[in-house]
Amino acid sequence: MYKNVNPLVLTNARIIDPANNVDEAGAVIVQDGTILAAGAEALNQGAPDGAKTVDCHGAVVAPGLIDMGVSVGEPGAEHRETLESRRAAAVGGVTTILTSPNTDPVIDDPALVDFMLRRARDTAIVNVHPMAALTKGLAGKDMSEIGLLKEAGAIAFSNDRLPITNSSVLVRLLTYARDFDALVVHQAQDKDLAGSGVMNAGLRASWLGLGGIPREAEFVAIERDMRLVAMAKGKYHARLISCPQSAEAIQKAKNDGLNVTAGISINHLTLNENDIGPYRTFHKMSPPLRTEDDRQAMVKALADGTIDIIMSDHNPQDVETKRHPFAEAEYGALGLETMLGAGMRLVLNEDISLSRLLATMTCNPADRLGLPAGRLSKGAPADLIVFDPQKPWIVEKDKIRSRSKNTPFEDETLTGRVLTTIVAGRILDHDAI
C-alpha cells in the first residue's frame, strides 16, 4: 500500500504554499514524516542520509488537500463506500477527510466516534477525522453530548444536510459548543420554503416540470443562523452556500466580528442548473445547482474571501438510488477524485489564482479545524501532492476509484492531474491503489 518510509527530497518543483505566501521554484525535504524544509531555501540544504530523491520535472508541489465534506457508507451502507475505499481521496490529492455523521447508526455516541477512528487506523490510507452529529439521530431535536463526543475525538459537529429548523435548539447547541471550543457545521435551509422542490426554482424548473427550491429557502435560514451566532457568540461554519444573498449575510456577519466561515462545493462553483440537461440525476444536489449568474457570484465571493473553504461534497450513491425519475432520485454526487481538476477550471478561466484555489482546500480548512496540516512549514506533517496543472485527463467511469460512480463530470475532460500523493512522508502508488 505504501512506498518509501525513508527521508524524501522532491526537487525541480514549483512550490506553492498559500499558508506562507510561497510560490517559487524549489524543493521539499521530508524526514520522519514531517517537513524539514520547503521552497527555495530547501535548495541550499543537503539531503538527509538515505533519502530518496524525486525529480518533479517542474510540477507543482503543494500541501495535500483537506476535504470537509465527505460522506462514507461505513457503518451501514458499505455497498456505497467504506473507509477502506478512501483510495479515491488519494488519487484526487486529498490527504485528509472529514467524515459526515450520516451513517447507520448515526455518529452520535462516543463509542461510534472511537469506532470510526479505529477503522480509519486499520484501513484508511489518508487521514480521517470524524464529525459527530449535532443532534441525536440527526433528528434536529435533542442535543448530542458535545463534550463527550469531542473528548472521544470528534473534530467538529454537523447535522450533515439536515437543517436544524428549531431556533431554540440551534442557539443552545451554539452556546454549548462554544464552551468546548467546538465548531458547529450547519447547512441552513428553511424546509417549509423548500417544500417538495428538487431543483432551483425558476424558468428551467418550469420547463422540466419539476418543483423548485427558491434561493430564499437558503439565505433566509443563513440570516437567521447569523443572528443566533451573535446571540450565542458561537463558532459557526456554513457547510455549503449556493447563492449571493447567503454570501452577503456571511460577509456582514464577518464585518460584525462574528466567528463564522463559509464553505461551498466544487459543484456549485463549476456547474449550473442547465447542466441537469434531460433530467440527469447525477446533477441532483442539495442545495440545488443554481443559475449561471448565481455561480459567477459565488466565484466572486470565493475570490474576495467571503467564502473560505471549497469541499467536494462527496456523496456516493449507487444505481439503485440514482436510476429513478429525477424527482425520486437521491441527492448527491462524487467529488473526491475531481475536486482539484474541476477547481482548475476557475484558474484557467482566470477567475482566481492557483494559490487562492489551493488555500481554500488546504490551509483554510486546516486553520478552521485547528489542524497542523495544510501547509509546508517546518515541522508540519508531510502530507503533500505533486500535480501537473496543465495536464488534461478524462473522467472515465471505469477508472473511478469510488465504489459508486455518480460523478457529474462523467466523460468530461478536466485539466490538472495529481501525479503523486504523499501522506506522512509515504508515497502512495496511484497504480496500486
Neighbours of 232 (CB within 10 A): 19
Cell numbers standing for residue 345: 477550471
Write the DSSP symbol of residue 274.
Answer: G
Does 55 participate in catalysis according to the annotation?
A: no
Q: How far is CA 79 from CA 76, 85, 106, 283, 319, in A?
A: 9, 11, 17, 21, 11
Cell numbers standing for residue 219: 439565505
**For residues 227 and 174, what is the distance between their CA atoms, to the nearest angstrom?**
11
Q: 157: which strand partners?
A: 132, 184
**For residues 62 and 247, what is the distance between their CA atoms, to the nearest angstrom?**
28
Intra-chain end-to-end CA distance of the chain, in Å: 7
CB 259 within 8 A of CB 174: no
CB 288 within 8 A of CB 295: no
Q: How many residues does the chain have?
A: 433
Of residues 55, 15, 12, 30, the one with CA closest to residue 423: 30
The secondary element (H helix, E strand) that includes residue 387 is strand 384-394
Q: How far is CA 230 from CA 139, 159, 189, 235, 320, in A?
A: 24, 20, 19, 10, 43
**For residues 141 and 342, what is the distance between their CA atoms, to the nearest angstrom?**
37
Options 313, 411, 429, 431, the catalytic residue: 313
Question: Looking at the annotation, which residues are catalytic?
Answer: 313
